[in-house]
Structure 1
Amino acid sequence: MKSRKRIIHLLIGPLLFALLCVCLPHSVFTEFETRAAVGTIIWMAYWWVTGPVDYAVTAFLPIALNAIFRMTDMSSVISNYADETILLLLGASIISVMWENTGLDKRIAITFLRLIGSSLRTQLVFWFMLAAVLSAVLPNAVVCATITPIAVAMLKYIGMDDIKNNKTASKILLTIAYATGLGGLASPLGGAMNLVTVDYIQKITGKEYMYSSWVVRFLPIMIVLILINILFTIRDVKRTEMLGGSKEYFVARYKELEPMSYEEKAALILFVLATVLAFTRQLYQGILPGLKPAYVFIICAIVSFLLTNKKGERIMVWKNVQGKIIWGLMYIFAGGLAAGTLINKSGAAEALGEYISKLDMKGGFVTVFIILTVTLLMSDVTSNTATAAVAMPLVISITQGCGLNPIPYVYVASVGVNLSYMLPTSIRAIPVGYGLSPKYMFKEGWKITVLIIVIMSIVCALLLKYWPAFSTV
């Protein structure tokens, strides 16, 4: 980026912050802290999209601005930079370095290309469905953190090291981000945001909510969303577009591989062990309640430094490993969490909710459209779970105040809570940490966001009107 252009982008960020602090309607955001929180989000979004500084540097803005303007208690902001998910990402990153040190990354890449083929369309559909299916029953951060390095290993093998400037590589990582977010909507097990929703439904009805009811009611929505996402992703991909060579070429390269070495086996076992333990936590959490997925990955990362090869040499040495760890990934993720904390703790989210509650909503398409739009955009600037915690009680109080059955509108809000596409916050920070450009994410994200809001508003309004089960538990 040219020096003059960079300086302009640098100045526009704080200018937007100042304008929002002054110009946001005081009748809605009555406190300066709430306006400053919104201004912080916009400043971060602008710098992430335009990139006048490193993305990780932008991630520290919540700390700097909160220190000056005191929007909320600093400890609640700082804690995001040591969040459990940050440790999970650190552990996964160290294990990925072990792949590179042992040559396992090359073997994994050739294996995936041999099995899936090199058609870009096929690759995109495969990664989407894999991430979406796993995210339906597992935490989406864990799914994204384990699948993304595998995809990156494949891309690097075929020469796509510069993901930021490679449209094909960027599209694959963006597809994984979309799918891990969408997959969580399929069942209550897809993430903490859905469990928050289930808790509110149980409070409304006064009885236990069956998870099978969620799956049935969201099935038609999931079918439509999967089709929209896949068609949007492959819309500009030609049938003849390939990744590297033909499938036959990668089959031949696979046959040329040497037998798996001891070091490769050790790297693979650690990855599989960490992944399986993270994905099956419910089987042992009663015995080891403290062994959460984040700590499983950290333990396996520690073990990687204890192993030696057949010559007695350590496979992993911190001095050599630290330069290969993707530190920016963790800071970008933490910055998104911190921004969400500012929005929620400052009262900005609550102020917006109170304003919406005063709108004369009478149910039907307009109400569905407003709920979807607000929850989806909130999920883009804060975590899905935080959005659910703020949005669900508001949706319930608004609909009950209007004399409406709140259940279908809670379902509608769940769609918005689970979906977000534009900014590198929450799980979308993971592919950005591996090289995906936030500018590309925003460029594609706003298009699919508009598409999703319009189509889902129509679909949910039709389900509300013509499918009685959508209004029950």
Structure 2
Amino acid sequence: MKNDGRYMVDNFGIDMNKIKIIILGPLAFLIILLVPLSVIDMQARGGLGILIWMALWWTSGNISVVITALVPIFVTTFIPIAPVAEIVNVFSHRIVFLIAGSCAMGAAWQRWGLARRLSLKILSLIGNSARKQIWAWFLISATLSSIIADTVTAAVFVPVAVTLLKYLGYDSNSKRWNNPAATNILLAIAWGASIGSLPTPLGGGQNLLIYEFLSEAVGRKIYFYEWTIRMLPFTLIFIPFIGFYISHILQKKDMKLPGTKEIYKKELKKMGSLSKGELFSALVFIIAVAAAFLEPIYTQLFPFLDPAFIFFSLAFLLFFIPTEEEENVLSIKSMRYFPITVLIVWPSALALAKVLEFSGLAEILSSLLTFFVDGHGIIPFLIFGGVTAFLTNISTNTASAALLMPIIIKLFISQNINPVPIILLLTVSVNLSFAIASGNGCLAVSAGYGVNLKTMFKHGVIIAFFGFLISTGLAYLLDNLFSWWGILI
């Protein structure tokens, strides 16, 4: 146990002073399981109990998401709510290997300083204008998070930004909390990585989860380019909207931060020439991303090739590529930058979806929501998009995808309605997570480095609300004006 001055936390991330709140999860599960309801059998009640248990733990913030992720396995081992073998199998899903490969490459970028070099180069060109720096960090993060997981992007760039902020005098969390410009720069990275994840399935665990649900719903593998062309209109609207909001609404007046371009040039000079670690980690990453988008071209000739395993295998090769130092591009040392939590949280969300399916709860909830389904009218878009956007801002983006997506997809399919348009809208809604530190890894990383959480919450809610209205309106227009948008079946 360690005491941080406020409460005691054990090595697994459990706030023992709030154990009563933590107990609410399993207690709610037992009550729901044991209290008979004539309309819901015991197996479905068990599925509902697991859903409520995980939702309580996800939203409480008093227990690590890693522990929450293991609830479906723990419960189904002892209670036949769903086949435990099916639940365990999701932890070896092909997408887990894609996530592992992507995160490993991100770890190499961080270990060898490639992301730092890129940041310093851009900042040495734009100087110390607060607004220009906000835009630079926002665009860098948004761009990279479309091809590397959003959490990894934040983990790479936030420490770089903080290092530079220290040079400018903001050398503590409290100083960065109390300085609007410093907080806005950290928010630019967090929110940029959050919304920049939209254009590809690689953008984060929540996207890969939806990618899997979408593939199951249409009965075939979805090519990456099919996802990209459908998410691009939203990205092209949200990038200028959120960037302008941070740089002109939050940063009411432009200001010159302490220091000059020379600070960035000096740091860049210290890095010297491009190292082998940087070069090979960049090259392998480019090859992996190209393989993902070129899949339709080579899949006829080499049907056994799968982008998920290509990512993993190329990352594996980095363990054998030497650098100038006595260390290969990837090593045990560099893997300390690997966000292991991502590998557990993603399959746990899929495991919850399996529980909902096998327990029969998804079918029951779908029947209860049938009233709100009316083709692709604006009403179901507003209702389901709004609920998803709300949930993603009080829990996590991955949790909201896992809790709602299987139920809503099953509902539309049961009504013989093409589920693709609503899935695409909910993909956007799931990525509108801006308000609380637990919403996604990007927000959590920035919170750890002193971003003002009051500013994050107040303005995150505003951006999420307007984002919901914009995305719903745009999705409705695309669905009605362009037939290709909602056709993947």
| TM-score computed with the length of structure 2 as normaliser | 0.67
Is contact 1:120–1:241 with CA below 8 Å preserved after alignment? yes
Quote the Cα distance in structure 2 between the aligned partners of 1:200 and 1:98: 35
CA distance in 2, matches of 1:157, 1:74: 46
Could you say if the C-alpha distance between residues 154 and 223 of structure 1 is closer, same or farther in structure 2, counting changes exceeding 3 Å? same
Equivalence for 1:335: 348
| TM-score of the superposed pair, with normalisation by structure 1 | 0.69
**Does the C-alpha gap of structure 1 residues 423 and 146 become closer, same or farther in structure 2, counting only changes over 3 Å?**
closer
* CA–CA separation in structure 2 for the residues paired with 1:344 and 1:17: 21
Letter in 2 for 1:174: A
The superposition leaves residues 297-331 of structure 1 with CA deviations (integer Å, 9 ceiling, x where unpaired) of: 333333332233457x3435745345443323322
Q: Does the alignment pair 1:154 with 2:160?
A: yes
Q: Say which SS state the counterpart of residue 260 (structure 1) adopts.
A: coil
Check conservation: 1:281, 1:293, Cα contact below 8 A: yes
Show the counterpart of 1:2: 7
Paired residue for 2:3? none
Q: Offset of 1:38 from its aligned partner?
A: 1.9
Residue of 72, 76, 88 corresponding to 1:78: 88
Are 1:469 and 2:478 matched, yes or no? no
Contact 1:197 1:388 in 2 (8 A): no
When residues 250 and 128 of structure 1 are mapped into structure 2, their CA distance, relative to the original with a 3 A threshold, is: closer
Structure 1 letter corresponding to 2:84? M
User: Structure 2 unaligned runs (5+)?
Assistant: 1-5, 178-182, 202-206, 220-224
5+ long unaligned stretches in structure 1: 203-210, 401-405
* Counterpart contact for 1:387–1:417, Cα < 8 Å: no
Question: What RMSD in Å do the two structures reach over aligned CA positions?
Answer: 5.1
1:11 paired residue among 10, 20, 34 = 20
Task: Using the TM superposition, name which of 270-279 and 437-446 deviates more.
Answer: 437-446
Larger displacement relative to structure 2 (333-342 or 36-45): 333-342
The aligned counterpart of 1:206 is: none
The separation in 1 between residues aligned to 2:7 and 2:150, in whole angstroms, is 34
* Displacement after TM superposition at 1:375 (Å): 5.3
Q: Provide the C-alpha distance between the structure 2 equivalents of 1:375 and 1:352, rounded to a whole number of angstroms.
A: 15
Instruction: For 1:205-220, list aligned pairs within 5 A.
Output: 219=233
Name the CA distance, whole Å, in 1 between partners of 2:20 and 2:262. Answer: 53
Tell me, what secondary structure is at the counterpart of 1:158? helix
Contact 2:150–2:197 (8 Å) recurs in 1: no
1:92–1:145 contact (8 Å) kept in structure 2: no
2:442 corresponds in structure 1 to 431
Q: Distance in 2 between matches of 1:217 and 1:101?
A: 31
Distance 1:126 1:105 in 2: 13
Q: State the shift of 1:355 in Å.
A: 0.3
Q: Supply the distance in 2 between the matched residues of 1:348 and 1:232 (Cα, whole angstroms).
A: 41
**Equivalent-residue separation in structure 1 for 2:475 and 2:200 (angstroms):** 18
Residue 453 and residue 115 in structure 1: after superposition, are their counterparts in 2 closer, same or farther (change >3 A)?
A: same
Task: Determine whether 1:107 maps to 2:139.
Answer: no
Give the structure 1 partner of residue 72 of structure 2. 62
**Residue 391 of structure 1 is aligned with which of 370, 383, 408?**
408
Q: How many Å apart are 1:356 and its aligned residue?
A: 1.0
Change (3 A) 1:99 1:359: closer
Q: In structure 2, do the counterparts of structure 1 residues 153 and 316 end up closer, same or farther at CA, with 3 Å as the change threshold?
A: same
Counterpart AA for 1:266: F
- The amino acid of 1:91's aligned partner reads G
**Partner AA of 2:412 in structure 1:** V
Q: For 1:183, which of 193, 199, 217 is the aligned residue?
A: 199
Q: CA deviation at 1:362?
A: 9.8
Q: Distance in 2 between matches of 1:360 and 1:99?
A: 46
Matches within 5 A, 1:402-441: 411=421, 414-420=424-430, 421-422=432-433, 431=442
Listed one character per residue, the Cα deviations across residues 110-162 of structure 1 (whole Å, up to 9, x for unaligned) are 12423565555545555656676788xxxx57564774455346335426799
* Deviation (angstroms), 1:216: 9.2
Matching residue's letter, 2:291: L
Aligned with residue 357 of structure 1, among 339, 349, 370: 370
Task: Measure how far apart 1:79 and its partner are.
Answer: 2.8
Q: How far does residue 414 in structure 1 lie from its aligned partner after superposition?
A: 2.9
| Identity score, percent | 18
1:240-260 CA-partner distances (Å, limit 9, x unpaired): 367884445424543565222
Shift of 1:163: 9.2
Instruction: Give the distance between the partners of 1:300 and 1:416, measured in 2 at CA.
Output: 32
How is 1:147-296 mapped onto 2 (pairs within 5 angstroms)?
147-148=153-154, 150-152=156-158, 154-155=160-161, 157-158=163-164, 167-168=183-184, 171-183=187-199, 219=233, 225-226=238-239, 229-230=242-243, 233=246, 235-240=249-254, 245-247=259-261, 249-251=263-265, 253-254=267-268, 257-296=271-310
The code of the aligned residue for 1:154 comes to V
Of 345-354 and 147-156, deviating more is 147-156
CA distance in 2, matches of 1:134, 1:320: 23
Distance 1:143 1:255, change over 3 A: same
Q: Which amino acid aligns with 2:157?
A: A
Inter-partner Cα distance in structure 2 for 1:7 and 1:217: 42
Q: Distance in 2 between matches of 1:303 and 1:217?
A: 32
Specify the alignment match of 1:347 in structure 2.
Answer: 360
> Cα offset for 1:454?
4.8
Partners of 1:442 and 1:344 lie apart in 2 by 34
Post-superposition shift, 1:354? 0.9
| Partner Cα distance (2:259, 2:363) in 1 | 53
CA distance in structure 2 between the partners assigned to 1:72 and 1:120 by the alignment: 53
1:72-117 Cα deviation digits (max 9, x unpaired): 2222322333333433343344444444554545423312423565
Contact 2:50 2:71 in 1 (8 A): no
Matched residue SS, 2:328: coil
CA change 1:201–1:32 in 2 (3 A) is: closer
Q: Any conservation in 2 of the 1:101–1:315 contact (CA below 8 Å)?
A: no
